[in-house]
């Protein structure tokens, strides 16, 4: 899968020259071109004039914060793979990074296996896939059990959550009852009604409360187009 990156351009934002050179020597084995910048200003200029497929960005850049750049990018592009590099586990940076839909948050020094695993995750963004567009504005990728919001934000699903989504998709004009859920999600194993309710509550919290509708005393169905 990682071979997909051979024709991709990477914006690499790093101000430590020694680390940058060593890292690029390794990275060049896997990608087409590395566009290196040591400041946010230069990085933004590169984004304006070059075709950038993915971004790898350090957090501490002299007196700048790499997350400022990523936040600006995310306002324009919700799907481009972004990897953050950091020299320490700063909780403030971690909390700020959570809503930015990062592919990975790597701590220096970067281990070879961590880099390969991360590049493999980036490569998944470029894999041809059959997205199923849902009437509530989301789309679903069954191969990887992933939901995409209208804004392109990725929501990874557990096996049961994916089975629930697929059950809803397979029954677009029917109400999905608890009995149908027992069969599809739990293979008729005993599950209490409260356990089903708790599962749906957690699912709603994860994907958005309007993703599904509750039909009183009956079951569930996909919500209608969000924001329409």
CATH code of residue 100: 3.40.50.2300
CA end-to-end span of the chain, whole Å? 38
CATH code of residue 144: 1.10.10.10
**Residues 6+ away with beta carbon under 8 Å from 206:** 155, 161
Q: Are residues 21 and 118 in the same domain?
A: yes
User: 16 in a domain, yes or no?
Assistant: yes
- pLDDT for the residue 1: 65
Cα dihedral 127, 143, 134, 196, rounded to 10, equals -150
Q: Are residues 193 and 168 in the same domain?
A: yes
Range of the domain at 65: 2-124
Averaged pLDDT in 10-residue chunks for the chain of 228 residues: 90 96 96 97 96 96 91 91 87 80 91 92 78 81 85 86 94 90 91 92 92 91 64
User: 218 in a domain, yes or no?
Assistant: yes
Q: Are residues 56 and 114 in the same domain?
A: yes
Tell me how many domains the chain contains. 2
User: 202 in a domain, yes or no?
Assistant: yes
Q: Are residues 90 and 185 in the same domain?
A: no
Query: Which of 71, 90, 124 marks a domain boundary?
Result: 124
Query: Which of 124, 143, 166 marks a domain boundary?
Result: 124
Query: What tokens does 59 get?
Result: 């957090």
Query: What tokens does 184 get?
Result: 């599809």
- pLDDT for the residue 228: 36
Helix/strand/coil for 113: helix
User: 182 in a domain, yes or no?
Assistant: yes
Query: Which of 93, 124, 155 marks a domain boundary?
Result: 124
Q: Are residues 37 and 59 in the same domain?
A: yes
Q: Are residues 16 and 119 in the same domain?
A: yes
User: 227 in a domain, yes or no?
Assistant: no
Q: Are residues 120 and 7 in the same domain?
A: yes
- pLDDT for the residue 144: 84
Task: Determine the Cα–Cα distance for residues 70 and 57; give it in Å rounded to an integer.
Answer: 8
Q: Are residues 41 and 85 in the same domain?
A: yes
Query: What tokens does 78 get?
Result: 């919700």
Helix/strand/coil for 125: coil
- pLDDT for the residue 204: 94
Q: Are residues 92 and 19 in the same domain?
A: yes
Task: Determine the Cα–Cα distance for residues 64 and 40; give it in Å rounded to an integer.
Answer: 7
User: 215 in a domain, yes or no?
Assistant: yes
Helix/strand/coil for 187: coil
Task: Determine the Cα–Cα distance for residues 164 and 184; give it in Å rounded to an integer.
Answer: 7
Q: Are residues 176 and 206 in the same domain?
A: yes
Q: Are residues 78 and 178 in the same domain?
A: no
Q: Are residues 87 and 138 in the same domain?
A: no
Q: What sign does the CA torsion over 26, 30, 35, 37 have?
A: negative
User: 228 in a domain, yes or no?
Assistant: no
Environment class of 219 (CB within 10 Å of its CB; exposed 0-12, middle 13-18, buried 19+): buried
């Amino acid at each position: 899968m990682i071979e997909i990156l051979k024709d991709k351009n990477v914006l690499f934002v790093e101000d430590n020259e020694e680390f940058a050179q060593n890292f690029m020597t390794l990275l060049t084995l896997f990608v087409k071109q590395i566009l290196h910048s040591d400041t946010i200003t230069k990085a933004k200029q590169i984004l304006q004039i070059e075709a950038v497929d993915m971004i790898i960005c350090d957090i501490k850049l002299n007196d700048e914060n790499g997350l400022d750049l990523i936040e600006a990018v995310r306002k324009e592009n919700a799907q481009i793979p972004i990897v953050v590099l950091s020299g320490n586990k700063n909780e403030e940076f971690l909390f700020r990074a959570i809503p930015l839909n990062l592919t990975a948050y790597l701590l220096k020094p970067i281990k070879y296996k961590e880099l390969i695993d991360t590049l493999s995750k980036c490569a998944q963004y470029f894999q041809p896939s059959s997205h199923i567009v849902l009437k509530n504005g989301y789309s679903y990728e069954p191969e990887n059990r992933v939901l995409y919001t209208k804004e392109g934000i990725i929501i990874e699903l557990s096996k049961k959550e994916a089975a629930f989504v697929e059950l809803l998709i397979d029954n677009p004009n029917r109400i999905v009852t608890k009995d149908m859920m027992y069969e599809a999600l739990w293979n008729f194993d005993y599950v209490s009604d409260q356990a089903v309710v708790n599962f749906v509550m957690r699912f709603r919290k994860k994907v958005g409360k309007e993703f599904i509708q509750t039909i009183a005393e009956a079951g569930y169905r996909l919500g209608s187009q969000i924001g329409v």
